Chain A
Amino acid sequence: MLLLIAWRNIWRNFKRSGIIIVSIAFGIWAGVFTIALSLGMVNQMVEDALRTYISHIQIHKPGFRQRREVKLVIPAGREIAAQLGQAPSVQGAAPRSVVAGMAGSPTSTNGVQIIGIDPQAEAKVTDISERLIDGEYFESSKRNQAVIGKKLAERLNLRVGSKIVLTAPMPSGEIGAGAFKVVGIYKTSTSMYDETTVFVNIQEADRIFVLSGGIHEIAVVMHNIDQADSLTTALRSQFPDLEIFGWKDISPELAMMTEMMDQSLLIIMIIILLALVFGITNTMLMGVLERTRELGILMALGLKNGKVFVMILWETILLSLVGGAVGILAGIVTNALCRRTGIDFSLFAEGLEAFGMAAIVYPAMHTRHYIIVSVLVILTAVIAAIYPGIKAMRLKPVEAIRTY
């Protein structure tokens, strides 16, 4: 009954309730959209980073990750990689040799990681082969092929077909160098990676830098990322002498980012809702004040103070829920529309790519977030109802009836 009265009361002053509902709806919509956009950005960033260069699990000789010494090779690395590649839960395992060196063209030089890869195994692990913007991925027939990033190509003024000289220290301590031909140019969403990563065939890296078949890194991608943890544990007991890291260990920042984003989004939503509290409180207060007489009559008829408070509370919650529902629905629709095309931030592409973010963002939002938003809306309504509710509760029936 109270609920019904509350519902009818909301619609008595249509204009006033309308304004506050629109304001709640707008606030929630803006919040939901911001959240979806930010989550979309972060998800994409994490996915891209995993797909492009982190993978799900990486195996190294202890110390290699810090010092990048060429001597720190994985014993029997190729065999381990081949074995892992056969495991049913594993999508692919790529052996790599990784050498910190320098790439030079006739005009300029740049610092790079030279990564020797097995093109077939690598294609199952990373998506560089799908990110070529010019030229082709490795062809088995040709020798001394290199695939480089777009940014490096610009820096060194290189095109497909250009010659590139790769220089790096060898395990012996001497410096080795080799001339390669650029066969493909790729572009990821991280400009720094594109500027500093050169792919060559693992056999050629081996030959030029005299690595004697040693590899430095095995990158593993699972069919299902959730299985990475269990495989990591299994590998650790199998190879106690190797450093085996899941993606969260390799890039704790990335793992942390999702969590941090969740927190900052919660803060954004709370600030929006706090801003809404003022408007809601005011609307409800006005509703109470202009109904002084009516509330007085209800109380004179025997409606208890507590019930009056509950009635005001219900009104506020209903009002907020109507606004919240409209806002969330609008958010869902907007998100769905934007998911289809993505939102183009190409204007800021360079700035975004400096931080590993793609320029086209697809908003993403979990049901979990919608639930959190809804709960927050109700919480907001309760907070907003306190003052007007107390005001209504404190009315003295006699005085309330007298004044009008």
Chain B
Amino acid sequence: MFFYLYLAWRNIWRNKRRSIINIASVLFAVVVALGTRSMQLGTYDRMIENLVSYYTGYAQVQHKGYNDTHSLDESFVANEAFVSHLQGADRATSIAPRLEAFGLVCGDSATMGAMLVGIDPAREAEFSHLARRVKQGAYLEAASRGVLIAAGLAEQLKLGLNDTIVVLSQGYHGTTAAGKYAVEGIVDFPSPELNNRLIYLTLPTAQNLFACENRLTSLAVMVKKSKHQLEMIESVKSLIRDDLKVLSWQDLLPELLQYIQMDNASGVIWLIIIYMVIGFGILGTILMMTLERNREFGMLIAIGMKRGSIRVIVLLESVILSFIGAVAGAIVGAPILLYFFYNPIRFTGDMAQYMIQYGFEPIMPFSLEPMIFVWQTVSVLIIALVVAAYPLFKISKIDPVSALRTG
């Protein structure tokens, strides 16, 4: 076997220029693929992180039916003991109890819709590091009576610290909810979706406003790594009452999930196109390598080499040729990815405006997920195998008598 490898290796370098062009083509494809994949996965990670780690959590415990209506009537009673009880779920790192409802928020001159979120300040700080997002004023204390307002919303309402807002909404079972609060702090989110609509209150304040004594709309659960999500969900399921259910972020943010799936699908199609184009080039080379060695193959068969062994050599040639390109591509691609991983592309000007308008953070982060590299190598190997099919078939048809006779 080692000898076959050696023979295949030698054969590849029989025509150096041709092999180098081939390797360069694979290298090119792999670098393009690594770049686009890294960008896509990096963007997805960022989008998920922006919404999941900064707000939604990897899963939420809700009352059955809440997710369809977002109605306070579908809230549930949960005391401190229950929250602590859930804290014991496998892989759960932190838990944030929340009471959320939509409300109209009036500043001095303008009125906007906002998502009012009642939180346990200490737990929320641990959960989404909300305290670190305060860019003006102070974070909420357990006994605070005021609110934290997202920077984008504050700007639209022309609100500053200590300004007063009037909140108007509908509480539990259709009661009217109204309240007046002072702005204690302004928090900044990278995701425009959060930055333009969030207002935080303490849980008791919110429960009081919405007449939801001891009630929550959701308990958000965080895990350290996304791969722990399923384990955590299973564990949470076993800990909760019958009237509650656990929803993953995929259930909670179906639009984000679908957007990612679609973008991912288009990315995969793009890679298939590039790899197919490159594959044709390699096919041409392998074809030539086969045709020009017709006599050699005839001679090898005549002196007693099995066709199977010749096939092994040709297959090895195809695999080695592509594999060198894949490795070279990874070597060239890795530093580029590494650079952009630490220095993500930031958009400015119109482009940034455009992205914010569509709810994206104006940044193009890269991912260093090792699977990106693995997949490119696998793809290249698949090409090598597919491309080798023609010569493999051709070898069975070689007639040594005529192969030796002709040119």
Q: Do chains A and B touch in the complex (CB under 8 A)?
A: yes
Q: Are A351 and B102 in contact (CB under 8 A)?
A: no
A22-63 contacts to B (CB < 8 Å) = 22-23, 26-27, 30-31, 34
Cα–Cα, bound, A19→B257 (Å):
40
Residues in B neighbouring A283, C-beta threshold 8 A: 284
Cross-chain contact A108 with B28 (CB below 8 angstroms): no
Contact, CB under 8 Å: B69 / A157:
yes
Q: Is B351 an interface residue (CB 8 A)?
A: yes
Q: Does B83 contact A (CB under 8 A)?
A: no
Q: Tell me if A16 is interfacial: C-beta within 8 Å of chain B.
A: yes
Residues of B within 8 A of A276 (CB): 277, 281
- Report Cα–Cα, A159/B24, bound state, in Å: 61
**Which chain B residues lie closer than 8 Å to A354 at the CB level?**
255-256, 258-259, 359
- Structural contact, A352 and B103, CB atoms closer than 8 A: no
User: Closest residue to B113 on the A side, CB-wise?
Assistant: A111
Contacts of B353 in A (CB 8 A): 252-253
Chain B 239-253 interface residues, beta-carbon cutoff 8 Å to A: none
Contact B280 A68 (CB under 8 A): no
A349 to B254, CA, bound (A): 10
Q: Give the chain B neighbours of A272 by CB distance below 8 A.
A: 273-274, 277
The listed residue (B18, B28, B350, B359) touching A256 by CB distance below 8 A is: B350
Q: Nearest chain-B residue to A31 (Cβ)?
A: B273
Residue B114 is within 8 A (CB to CB) of chain A in the complex: yes
Verify if A101 is at the interface (C-beta below 8 Å from B): yes
Q: Does A16 lie within 8 Å of B288, measured CB to CB? A: yes
Q: Does B87 belong to the interface (CB within 8 Å)? A: no
Instruction: State the CA gap A22–B281 with chains docked (Å).
Output: 10
- List residues of chain B with CB within 8 A of the CB of A281: 21
Residues of A within 8 A of B32 (CB): 271, 275
21 chain-A/chain-B pairs, Cβ below 8 angstroms: A19-B287, A20-B281, A23-B283, A27-B277, A102-B103, A102-B168, A102-B169, A109-B101, A110-B113, A111-B112, A112-B113, A168-B111, A253-B357, A278-B24, A279-B280, A282-B18, A348-B258, A348-B262, A351-B257, A351-B260, A354-B259
Q: Check A102/B261 contact, CB under 8 A, given A109-B102, A157-B71, A275-B32.
A: no
Q: Which residue of A lies closest to B257 (CB)?
A: A351
Interface centre among A23, A112, A282 (most CB of B within 10 A): A282
| A102–B21 touching, CB < 8 Å | no
Q: Contact check, B21 vs A68: say whether CB atoms are below 8 A apart.
A: no
Q: How far is the CA of A351 from the CA of B254 in the complex (A)?
A: 7
Chain B residue at smallest Cβ distance from A273: B277
Contact A26 B280 (CB under 8 A): yes
The CA-CA distance from A192 to B158 in the complex, in Å, is: 24
Report the Cα distance A68→B156, complex, angstroms: 9
Q: Are B288 and A286 in contact (CB under 8 A)?
A: yes
B70 contacts partner chain A, Cβ-Cβ < 8 Å: yes
Do B259 and A100 have beta carbons less than 8 Å apart? no
In the assembled complex, which residues on chain B have CB atoms less than 8 Å from the CB atom of A110? 70, 102, 113
- Asked if A175 is at the interface of the complex by the 8 Å CB criterion, the answer is yes
Cross-interface CB contact of A107 among B71, B270, B277, cutoff 8 Å: B71
Q: How far is the CA of A351 from the CA of B357 in the complex (A)?
A: 16
Q: Do residues A285 and B18 form an inter-chain contact, with CB atoms below 8 A?
A: yes
Summed over the interface, the residue pairs from A and B with CB atoms below 8 Å come to a total of 194
How far, in Å, is B192 (CB) from chain A's closest CB? 12
B101 / chain A contacts, CB cutoff of 8 Å: 109
Q: Which of B346-391 contact A (CB under 8 A)?
A: 350-351, 353-354, 357-359
Known: A108-B69, A110-B70. 18 other contacts (CB 8 A): A20-B284, A23-B284, A100-B111, A100-B113, A106-B174, A109-B101, A109-B169, A111-B102, A157-B71, A169-B111, A175-B168, A278-B22, A282-B25, A289-B15, A348-B258, A350-B255, A351-B258, A351-B259
Tell me if A67 counts as interface (CB < 8 A to partner B). Answer: yes
Is A260's CB within 8 Å of the partner chain B?
yes
Chain A nearest Cβ from B60, distance in angstroms? 17
Known: A67-B110, A282-B281. Is A107-B22 also a contact (CB below 8 A)? no
Contact with B along A209-247 (1 / 0, CB 8 A): 000000000000000000000000000000000000000
Q: Is the CB of A102 within 8 A of B102?
A: yes
What is B's interface to A at a CB cutoff of 8 Å? 15, 17-18, 21-22, 24-25, 28-29, 32, 68-74, 101-104, 106, 109-114, 156, 158, 168-170, 174, 254-262, 265, 270, 273-274, 276-278, 280-281, 283-285, 287-288, 291, 350-351, 353-354, 357-359
Query: Is A370 among interface residues, defined by CB-CB distance under 8 A?
Result: no
> Which listed residue (A252, A256, A260, A275) contacts B277, Cβ 8 A?
A275
Query: Which B residues lie within 8 Å of A347 (CB)?
Result: 262
- Once the chains are docked, how many angstroms separate the CA of A369 from the CA of B114? 44
Bound: A271/B407 CA distance, A:
40
Considering the complex of A and B, which 7 residue pairs feature the smallest CB-CB distances, nearest first? Answer: A111-B113, A351-B258, A23-B280, A279-B281, A278-B25, A108-B71, A351-B259
- Neighbouring B residues of A260 by C-beta, 8 Å: 351, 354
- Is the Cβ of A282 less than 8 Å from the Cβ of B22? yes
Across the interface, which residues of B come within 8 angstroms of A79, CB to CB? Answer: none
Report chain B residues within 8 Å CB of A349. 258
In the complex the two chains form, what is the Cα distance from A175 to B174 in whole Å?
Answer: 17
| Contacting residues, chain B, for A67 (C-beta < 8 A) | 109-110, 156, 158
Q: B283 — which chain A residues lie within 8 A by C-beta?
A: 19, 23
Q: How far is the CA of A108 from the CA of B70 in the complex (A)?
A: 7
CA distance A23 to B353 in the complex (A): 39
Contacts of A112 in B (CB 8 A): 113
Whether the Cβ atoms of A167 and B168 lie closer than 8 Å is yes
Which residues of chain A have C-beta atoms less than 8 A from B285's C-beta? Answer: 282
Is the beta-carbon distance between A19 and B258 smaller than 8 angstroms?
no
